[in-house]
């Protein structure tokens, strides 16, 4: 919550009023002040502290005073209508996520006299000069050919970004760098790329084309599969609606298809042994899936929030169903759990509101809390006599009848 009044600040007619003698704007001072539209900065401000203006949704532009040296972590995070940023010459430090989720940004510039950061070649981005790392971008960013790294969350929630060219100088894409860039349609990974961190393309729901240079030694998109595969481990780390999983892939990585809302079906080849955590999380158009008998583990939240999924076949090779693996699959009407399964994770079928009956195999010795909570249509559950049931395993299942066998 905003703390500006306790700091002696004010808001008048949508303008942040800060006393002229202040040299720092304190932590969370105007956090989530939706009435704020502009800021009157004192001339001698040197530091804007953590989350000072976070969530100021109606703030459209800022002119930072010349003497600012430090912008704290998340200082302008989630200022969703902020359109432009200009960094003055004396800024020496920018905290993590300072401009994250500023989805309306179209113009980013840095004073040419700044010795730590730059926006070389009018690239519409903030680049750390010494390391050649792009730390913050926008829909109009053109990544210069001298950039070697795209930092964590650099384009996070940049929902207007439709395409981006990654130059051959880039060797690393940081964690969540293009997180939830929901209008991004294509990705091309250059031969120089050696590291793509987790969640790099999470929630890029409009992706239709993914390619990797044939000269890349770490990643590939073999057989024109429309996916990024880690070559050595044969792990598919990022896919899209047009992905065809090659028969040499052995693992579907964590969050590989997460929030791919236009994915309607996918064939998992018999080479795959593991489906990672959140692999198909919130693939809301996915209607059915067949898991091959090679798979032994279904990861946590693997199919969570797949709201159109009506049926799924779990093979007799699976021994563990992870935490929340099928939670909120609200269209799922039936599922057969094979006798190979020994562990069903907490909340595995939570919120499966169309599920009417289920049989627990004798191999399962315990059903934990909330495993089937909010399964409002569930009427019959067959449970082996030796299986213990926690108190909240069937919470908010008003019509359920448990039959011991």
Shared domain for 259 and 395, answered yes or no, is yes
Contact 385, 362 (CB under 8 A): no
Q: Could you give the CA distance from residue 295 to residue 389 in angstroms, rounded to a whole number?
A: 27
Q: What pLDDT is recorded for position 1?
A: 60
Q: What pLDDT is recorded for position 312?
A: 86
Task: Give the CB-side neighbour count of residue 244, counting CA atoms within 13 A.
Answer: 6
Q: Indicate whether 159 belongs to any domain.
A: yes
- SS3 breakdown of the chain: % helix, strand, coil, rounded to 5? 0, 25, 75
The enclosing domain of 179 has a CATH number of 3.80.10.10
Contact 193, 216 (CB under 8 A): yes
Which stretches of 11-117 are DSSP H helices? none
Q: What is the pLDDT along the chain (405 residues), one digit of tens a residue?
A: 678 888 889 999 999 999 999 999 999 999 999 999 999 999 899 999 999 999 999 998 888 999 999 999 999 999 999 999 999 999 999 999 999 999 999 999 999 999 999 999 999 999 999 999 999 999 999 999 999 999 999 999 999 999 999 999 999 999 999 999 999 999 999 999 999 999 999 999 999 999 999 999 999 999 999 999 999 999 999 999 999 999 999 999 999 999 999 999 999 999 999 999 999 999 999 998 889 999 998 999 999 999 999 988 899 999 999 999 999 999 999 888 999 999 898 999 999 999 999 999 999 988 988 999 999 999 999 999 989 998 899 999 999 999 899
Q: Indicate whether 152 belongs to any domain.
A: yes
Shared domain for 185 and 92, answered yes or no, is no
Shared domain for 317 and 263, answered yes or no, is yes
Shared domain for 386 and 259, answered yes or no, is yes
Contact 85, 105 (CB under 8 A): yes
Residue 304's closest CA among 283, 287, 321, 319? 283
Residue that finishes a domain, picked among 197, 230, 263: 230
Buried b / exposed e along 212-221 (16+ C-beta atoms within 10 A): bbeebebbbb
Residue that finishes a domain, picked among 198, 230, 262: 230
Q: Indicate whether 377 belongs to any domain.
A: yes
Shared domain for 189 and 323, answered yes or no, is no
Task: Give the CB-side neighbour count of residue 158, counting CA atoms within 13 A.
Answer: 29
Shared domain for 296 and 387, answered yes or no, is yes
Q: Indicate whether 122 belongs to any domain.
A: no
Q: Could you give the CA distance from residue 241 to residue 264 in angstroms, rounded to a whole number?
A: 7
Q: Could you give the CA distance from residue 10 to residue 35 in angstroms, rounded to a whole number?
A: 12
Q: Indicate whether 111 belongs to any domain.
A: no
Q: Could you give the CA distance from residue 373 to residue 353 in angstroms, rounded to a whole number?
A: 9
Which residues touch 365 (CB under 8 Å, ≥6 apart)?
342, 386, 387, 388
Shared domain for 284 and 222, answered yes or no, is no
Q: Indicate whether 22 belongs to any domain.
A: yes
* Own/partner pairs, 321-324, CB within 8 angstroms, 24+ separation: 321/345, 321/348, 322/277, 322/297, 322/298, 322/348, 323/347, 323/348, 324/300, 324/348, 324/350
Please report which helix (H) or strand (E) contains residue 388, including its range: strand 388-389
Instruction: Report the number of distinct structural domains present in the chain.
Output: 3
Domain encompassing residue 391: 250-405
Chain centre distance of CA 205: 11
Q: What pLDDT is recorded for position 260?
A: 94
Q: What is the pLDDT of residues 185-226, one digit of tens each?
A: 999 999 999 999 999 999 999 999 999 999 999 999 999 999
Shared domain for 380 and 257, answered yes or no, is yes
φ/ψ of 123, rounded to 5, equals: -80, -5
Q: Indicate whether 277 belongs to any domain.
A: yes
Q: Indicate whether 58 belongs to any domain.
A: yes
Which residues touch 312 (CB under 8 Å, ≥6 apart)?
288, 289, 290, 291, 303, 326, 332, 335
Q: What pLDDT is recorded for position 61?
A: 83
φ/ψ of 224, rounded to 5, equals: 50, 50
Residue with tokens 């969530």: 55
Q: Could you give the CA distance from residue 89 to residue 403 in angstroms, rounded to a whole number?
A: 73
Q: What pLDDT is recorded for position 252?
A: 98
Shared domain for 334 and 387, answered yes or no, is yes
Shared domain for 261 and 397, answered yes or no, is yes
Shared domain for 278 and 384, answered yes or no, is yes
Residue that finishes a domain, picked among 41, 71, 104: 104
Residue 336's closest CA among 346, 326, 328? 326
Chain centre distance of CA 142: 23
Q: What pLDDT is recorded for position 305?
A: 97
Shared domain for 169 and 216, answered yes or no, is yes
């Amino acid at each position: 919550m905003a703390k500006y009044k306790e700091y002696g600040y004010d808001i008048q007619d949508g303008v942040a009023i800060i006393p002229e003698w202040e040299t720092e704007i304190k932590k969370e001072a105007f956090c989530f002040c939706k009435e704020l539209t502009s800021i009157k900065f004192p001339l001698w401000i040197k530091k804007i502290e953590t989350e000072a203006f976070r969530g100021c949704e109606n703030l459209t532009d800022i002119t930072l005073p010349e003497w600012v040296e430090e912008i704290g972590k998340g200082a302008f995070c989630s200022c969703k209508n902020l359109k432009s940023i200009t960094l003055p010459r004396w800024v020496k430090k920018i905290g993590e996520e300072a401009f994250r989720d500023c989805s309306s940004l179209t113009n980013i510039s840095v004073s040419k006299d700044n010795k730590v950061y730059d926006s070389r070649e009018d690239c519409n981005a903030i680049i750390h000069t010494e390391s050649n790392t792009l730390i913050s971008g926008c829909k109009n960013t053109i990544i210069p050919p001298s950039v070697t790294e795209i930092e964590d969350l650099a384009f996070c929630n940049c929902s207007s970004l439709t395409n981006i060219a990654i130059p051959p100088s880039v060797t690393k894409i940081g964690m969540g760098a293009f997180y939830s860039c929901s209008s991004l349609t294509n990705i091309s990974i250059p031969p120089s790329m050696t590291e793509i961190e987790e969640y790099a393309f999470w929630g890029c729901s409009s992706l239709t084309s993914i390619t990797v240079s044939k000269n890349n030694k770490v990643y590939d998109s073999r057989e024109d599969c429309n996916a990024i595969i880690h070559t050595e481990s044969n792990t598919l780390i990022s896919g899209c609606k047009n992905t065809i999983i090659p028969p040499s892939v052995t693992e579907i990585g964590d969050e590989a298809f997460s929030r791919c809302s236009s994915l309607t079906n996918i064939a998992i080849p018999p080479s795959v042994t593991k489906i990672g955590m959140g692999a198909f999380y919130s693939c809301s158009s996915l209607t059915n899936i067949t898991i091959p008998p090679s798979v032994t583990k279904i990861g946590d939240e693997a199919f969570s929030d797949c709201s159109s999924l009506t049926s799924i076949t779990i093979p007799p090779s699976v021994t563990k169903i992870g935490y929340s693996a099928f939670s909120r699959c609200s269209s799922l009407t039936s599922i057969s759990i094979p006798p190979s399964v020994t562990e069903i994770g907490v909340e595995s079928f939570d919120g499966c509101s169309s599920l009417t009956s289920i049989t627990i195999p004798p191999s399962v010795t315990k059903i934990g809390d909330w495993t089937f909570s909010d399964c409002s249509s569930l009427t019959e559950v067959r449970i082996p006599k030796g299986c213990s049931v926690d108190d909240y395993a069937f919470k908010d299942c008003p019509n359920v009848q448990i039959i011991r066998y």
